[in-house]
Chains A and B, each alone.
Chain A
């Protein structure tokens, strides 16, 4: 369980996260949506102790993220940032193996190796496993980062726009993987998405942020509605039911 209690973050005079409270119970796939600058990444960074908040607390399984030992948290919660960028020449397998660091501190066991190979399999990375990161396409690299985070095998996984750079097939593959992680392995996944239809089709719950606040929060059936989405994005969005799924259209 992740509990966000009255979290506020300011840069100078602007408040970018404004008194946000949010409970993320164990299990389930939560989509975080909202326009650019709504504060999604900031909130995720605060939840994962990458950024200090100006007010409020975040508890992960009851532990305050600002005071709990970082290596303890690293076995409970993993985060992939939106602007993940690595300049080091590491191979994909090396990078993914570092996902095991919180568990093994560099002394990798047979079990760790198995985790690594599984993550490589899941993300379709075996063909590139021994290539250097700077020799991959943007989408392949993005998958390598996600593989590393999944390899960390934490109960809570926070992913900031993991679908960046992914083609249709790999985007669907990624969502299917996250779905499996929640359904079969009982993980809690919070994922920032820009495609409301992906959020609608794959998540259990959608949290919509706007101007640093949680504007709407509920299952897709409640959030994927024209009036809600129009409010969040300041854009006319029509919602249709297609094959039992709620699909928003806004293309023109």
Chain B
């Protein structure tokens, strides 16, 4: 399955260049048709790159979050991270609407960092009787933050904007409006470089210390990676739900949890899944588009249910 996804990925990426309302055919590119090339350079190419970057990095930080929380159900959208990022984006939009995207990302990151740190701090105090307590804590936290954000958005007439940010959508991606995602991609590479640390962190604090690693520093590094990537993705293309949950779990099931070994697969499968869902969204109601957030939500929840039913026990790692 993973190998299939790896083979499928380039094919999907190529198809993604040619699917959309405006017609581009491969022959047009071969004939060096300037209009066709223009469309690819300005819209289809960036869109495809954005999908690849967002998919891969979201799935990668899902894995990192699961290692940090030592729980299979932890991912940015079940730990409050995404909700905090959205709140940050909302607050900065109200306070300083004219700020450039980079500044908005910084604000969203700051909120996401604070939120994720809060989540991990709460986790340390809650007795973990079941692995499901971890995502429950995160979802409750996220719910509260979401409610606050909705209230603020309601009072400031920004409900529509909040709704748009909450649903990942790549149809507006154009050259010049997605490049921040390269930051997310670069951070996914950083995560790979530090992969062993995260595997060790997943073994728990005692193992980490015994092996001479600073547990706190690993947590902080992971927190920063998770928060920045989540914020970048949310600000640039909106929330892509479930990806960070489903992809790492599928890979873990097939290949285990040695992050050094699994991360490339996680990135590949994440990119392939988002790309496939986006293509589906473009084709389902052609010539209209269904946002990828919606498609991933549906596909992801089906996959997630399958995972839950398949893994009879031991789905979490409490400890």
List residues of A whose CB falls within 8 A of some B CB: 48-50, 69-75, 78-81, 84-91, 94, 98-99, 101-102, 105-106, 132, 134, 149, 152
* Cα of A215 to Cα of B14 in the assembled complex, Å: 74
Residues of chain A with a CB closer than 8 A to B253's CB: 89
* B201 to A, closest residue via Cβ: A88
Q: Could you say which of A48, A69, A88, A134 contacts B203, with CB atoms under 8 Å apart? A: A88
A88-B212 CB under 8 A given contacts A94-B256, A94-B258, A134-B314: no
A98-B204 CB under 8 A given contacts A48-B210, A78-B210, A88-B257: no
Contact A90 B209 (CB under 8 A): no
A86-B206 CB under 8 A given contacts A75-B212, A132-B256, A134-B314: no
Q: Min CB distance, A113 to chain B, in Å?
A: 15
* Cα of A81 to Cα of B67 in the assembled complex, Å: 20
CB of B10 within 8 Å of the partner chain? no
Q: Provide 24 A-B residue pairs closer than 8 Å at the C-beta atoms, listed in order of the A residue.
A: A48-B209, A50-B205, A50-B206, A70-B212, A74-B211, A74-B212, A75-B212, A79-B206, A79-B210, A84-B206, A84-B207, A86-B317, A87-B202, A87-B314, A87-B319, A94-B256, A98-B200, A98-B211, A99-B211, A101-B200, A106-B196, A106-B260, A134-B314, A152-B210
* A74 to B, closest residue via Cβ: B212
Interface size class of B (residues with CB under 8 A): 20 to 34
Contact B211 A101 (CB under 8 A): yes
Leading 5 A-B pairs by shortest Cβ distance: A87-B317, A74-B212, A71-B212, A88-B257, A106-B196
Contact B212 A85 (CB under 8 A): no
A87-B200 CB under 8 A given contacts A48-B210, A50-B210, A102-B211: no
Q: Could you say which of B206, B213, B316 contacts A87, with CB atoms under 8 Å apart? A: B316
* Cα of A79 to Cα of B206 in the assembled complex, Å: 9
Per-residue CB contact flags for chain B residues 213-242 toward chain A (1 = under 8 Å, else 0) read 110000000000000000000000000000
Interface of B (DSSP majority class): loop
Contact B213 A70 (CB under 8 A): yes
Q: Min CB distance, B252 to chain A, in Å?
A: 6
Residues of chain B with a CB closer than 8 A to A149's CB: 210
Interface of A (DSSP majority class): loop
CB of B318 within 8 Å of the partner chain? yes
CB of B282 within 8 Å of the partner chain? no
Residues of chain B with a CB closer than 8 A to A105's CB: 196
* Cα of A74 to Cα of B209 in the assembled complex, Å: 8
A81-B256 CB under 8 A given contacts A74-B211, A87-B70, A98-B200: no
Residues of chain B with a CB closer than 8 A to A106's CB: 195-196, 260
* 18 further interface pairs, Cβ-Cβ under 8 Å (given A98-B199, A99-B211, A106-B196): A49-B209, A50-B206, A50-B209, A50-B210, A70-B209, A71-B213, A74-B212, A78-B210, A84-B206, A88-B256, A88-B257, A88-B317, A89-B252, A89-B256, A98-B200, A98-B203, A101-B196, A101-B213
Q: Min CB distance, A187 to chain B, in Å?
A: 16
* Cα of A79 to Cα of B214 in the assembled complex, Å: 16
Q: Which of A48, A88, A90, A99 has the most CB of B within 10 A?
A: A88
* Cα of A69 to Cα of B209 in the assembled complex, Å: 11
* Cα of A87 to Cα of B319 in the assembled complex, Å: 8
* Cα of A89 to Cα of B317 in the assembled complex, Å: 10
Q: Min CB distance, A46 to chain B, in Å?
A: 12
Contact A88 B199 (CB under 8 A): yes
* Cα of A105 to Cα of B212 in the assembled complex, Å: 10
* B255 to A, closest residue via Cβ: A89
* Cα of A99 to Cα of B319 in the assembled complex, Å: 20
* Cα of A109 to Cα of B211 in the assembled complex, Å: 17
Residues of chain A with a CB closer than 8 A to B314's CB: 87, 134
Residues of chain B with a CB closer than 8 A to A132's CB: 256
Contact A86 B203 (CB under 8 A): yes
